[in-house]
Amino acid sequence: MSDVNSPSFWEESYRQGHTGWDLGMPTPVFQRLAESGKFTPGKMLVVCAGRGYDARLFARLGFEVTAVDFAEEAVKEMQALDDPQVKMEVMQADLFDLPVFMEEEFDYILEYTCFCAIDPQRRAEYIQGVSSLLKPGGFYIALAFPIGGRTGGPPFVVSPDELISPLNERGFELVLREVPDDSVPGREGIEELIILKKKPN
């Protein structure tokens, strides 16, 4: 297996233009969600932000966004695409090494194609991270992809229950689970939007 734990693996993909995951625009499912007005702007952490389209979408709507990616190329491109009108913090960091001061810092954590990109052996660590970074009462918003039907990776296959069950055990409540009808072509039926709320204090 290639070492997905290493930023250099991802940097090489960016350098070679092998970024098949990149939509070149905000994810339509998140666009709908962001514009629904159901979520009041607050502090949002976007993990594995890539070129930052989704992060920028929420920042534009007034969310205080921190976009994290550990690949230098991704971060450079995210900064290059930055809209000067939109305030957003871009951070080059490994999501498994985020500083302690960020604990319980965020009202939202947003993710797309992150859980499927990390080493599957580190999924429990990811859940622990999500749980500690969110404020009590905060929301975890994920578009779980790709569901079923493949071996190897990245992307490594994802089952929404792998996110929901361990978060439930940590006191998170599932507030939404849907198979979106606005997935991009090729991803229809193999992704699910899930939203969980961390137990308020």
Interface residues with ligand SAM (CB under 6 A)? 10, 21-22, 48-50, 68-71, 74, 94-96, 112-114, 117-118
Q: Which is nearer to ligand SAM, 116 or 164 (CB)?
A: 116
| Rounded Cα distance, 134 and 44, in Å | 9
The CA distance from 129 to 96, in Å, is 7
Q: Shortest distance, CB of residue 37 to ligand SAM, whole angstroms?
A: 24
Dig out the tokens for 149 from the structure: 């039907």
Work out how close the CB of 173 gets to ligand SAM at its nearest, in angstroms, rounded to a whole number.
25
CB-closest chain residue to ligand SAM: 50
Q: How many Å apart are CA 58 and CA 155, to the nearest integer?
A: 25
* Least separation in angstroms between CB 93 and ligand SAM: 7
CA 67 to chain CA centroid, nearest Å: 9
Pick between residue 125 and residue 169 the one whose CB is nearest to ligand SAM. 125
- By beta-carbon proximity to ligand SAM, the closer residue of 83 and 173 is 83
Nearest distance from residue 183's CB to ligand SAM, in Å? 13
Output 14 or 139, the one with its CB closest to ligand SAM.
14
Which CB sits closer to ligand SAM, 42 or 153? 153
164-173 per-residue burial string, b: 16 or more CB within 10 A, e: under 16 = bebbeeeebe
C-beta closer to ligand SAM: residue 70 or 108? 70
> Whole-number minimum distance, CB 44 to ligand SAM, in Å?
14
Cβ pair 70, 7 in contact under 8 A: yes
Min dist CB 4 to ligand SAM, Å, is: 6
